[in-house]
Structure 1
Amino acid sequence: MSEESGHLARPGYRIAWKRVAGEGPTVVWLGGFKSDMAGAKAEALADWAQARGRAYVRFDYFGHGESEGDFRSGTITRWREDALAVIDELAAGETVLVGSSMGGWIACLAAMARPERVKALVLIAPAPDFTEKLMKPEIPPEGLADLARDGVWLRPSEYGEPYPITRELLEDGARWSILEAQEIPIEAPVRILQGGEDPDVPWRHALELAQGLKGRDVVFTLIKDGDHRLSRPQDIARIVAAVDEAVS
């Protein structure tokens, strides 16, 4: 089964997407902060979907990859809305949400907004509340000064050019916090894969999410020598196996 591509119209911009037609629940890929749908994990799932005849959709958020928009204007609110638009307009029936890093947070928010559409979640190094819990505490004094003066801080990145972090992103992210809730109202089965040597999302952060979920069918897998990306062949094999289980 070949993969089709297109653009989904949103107010003032368009989201780029790719889709494989197939059977069963639609697997929806939700990428990470400043990543895109051309990454190794998203590509591997496209290959799996075509080989297995499974339905699969991947897309780029506003300001990411092939989609339109200025990344600096992106917020959790906007990216959540992008995910919901893809689920509503490009995925038929039940879905399995596969969220990586920030995409794990977006997947949880989408599952809370569309519980009747979500069969299961597979979360890879999930980073819920990362703006408030992981990013904000690490901003150095000069970064705080940049945010106060310019509304943006250029955060160094191991993965390429510095990431522009805006005051609006931080303030908006705080509004979507889920870890502070007494219980995270997600009852669908959840599989979490987390690297023990992840420098960006500590494994205890991902475990806090697992422990806060309302549902009982939650499995947390710690890959002791795994990093944040979990893109080694053995890591990708684990991810594909988790997705394969989730759609069955």
Structure 2
Amino acid sequence: MSQTHRIPITGAGTGTDTGPPTVAAVHHEAESDDWLVFCHGLRSDKSGSYEQRCRQAVEAGYNAVRFDCRGCGESDGAFVESTLEARLTDLHHVVDYFDPDSYVLFGSSFGGKVAFHAAAADDRVTAVATRAPVTTAGTFDEYRAAVERDGEWTFDTGDRIDRRFFDALDRHPFDDVVTTLSIPVAIFHGGDDAVVDPADSFDAARRLETDVCLERFAGEGHRFSQAGEQRLLDRLFGWLEWADG
């Protein structure tokens, strides 16, 4: 069973005349006290593959939550304001809304960076898993150059990023995760990923001072095939039996 919730994002600078913005979150309920929260990528949302991920999470005994960050999917707000810090705030409000005693995080691409930094700051997180995580600001060098030149970058969808995106990114280097994170980590990365360099994940795994499971999926790109996605889920929940046991 799943249920959609509208979660208000309160705090300085988020309110309007009509009240605080809200994010859309879907809770897939399981009969347990175990929770798994999913963080989508930069230009993604909670739909598509996240529905299957949540269904399989429930089969594995987890209450699963997928949500749209502000400016994405069914949530309020403008994409241009959806910086790393805004997404960390959204995730914090979502978790506090459901109020689990502990939980696991899964993040894909830019959502992997969100998951890493959130896990490093929240003692309730017991494990963090990622797919093609962004671990270096160099992933966005093309966009940064355009923003420095023109003041903003516009994607083919019309969504924009500006200097606020890079200011927030620079305030949260991966070094902060390396020096803080002490829980088990899983990193899954497509060997043919042309968006986030697989070498970045190998470097991140070397630097992290905790238990790391790193798997390279040969032949998979930034978006996994259906077969690759199922392999990922099988490996994820197999790993969680150990990491979150």
Scaled by the length of structure 2, what TM-score is found? 0.87
Structure 2 residue 3 is the aligned partner of structure 1 residue 7: no
Q: Does 1:35 find its partner at 2:29?
A: no
Letter in 2 for 1:125: A
- Specify the code of the residue in structure 2 equivalent to 1:127: V
What's 2:150 paired with?
Answer: 146
Corresponding residue for 1:134?
A: 139
Kept in 2, the 8 Å contact 1:193–1:239? The answer is no
Distance 1:141 1:212, change over 3 A: closer
Q: Alpha carbon RMSD of aligned pairs, Å?
A: 2.1
Question: How far off is 1:52 after superposition?
Answer: 3.8
Contact 1:21 1:53 in 2 (8 A): no
Match of 2:226 in 1: 232
- Amino acid in the other structure paired with 1:183: V
- Report the Cα offset of residue 79 of structure 1: 0.6
SS in 2 for 1:192: strand
Task: Report the number of matched residues.
Answer: 232
For residue 170 of structure 1, the aligned residue among 156, 166, 169 is 166
Q: Describe the shift of the 1:133–1:44 C-alpha distance in structure 2 as closer, same or farther (beyond 3 A).
A: same
Q: Note the C-alpha offset of 1:140.
A: 8.3
Q: Is the 8 A contact 2:33 2:63 kept in 1?
A: yes
User: Larger strand proportion, structure 1 or 2?
Assistant: 1
Which deviations, in whole Å up to 9, do the C-alpha atoms of 1:186-208 show, x marking residues without a partner?
Answer: 11111110011111100111222
Q: What is the CA distance between 1:229 and its match in structure 2?
A: 1.8
Q: Unpaired runs of 5+ in structure 1?
A: none
Aligned to 1:79: 87
Matches within 5 A, 1:95-244: 95-114=103-122, 116-129=123-136, 132-135=137-140, 137-139=141-143, 144-147=148-151, 152-155=152-155, 161=157, 163-179=159-175, 183-215=178-210, 217-244=211-238
Question: Are residues 35 and 222 of structure 1, via their aligned partners in 2, closer, same or farther at CA, if it must alter by over 3 Å?
Answer: same
Q: Give per-residue Cα distances to partners, 1:82-124, cap 9 Å, x unaligned.
A: 111222222412111001001111111111110x211111110
**1:53-72 → structure 2 map (5 Å cutoff):** 53-72=61-80
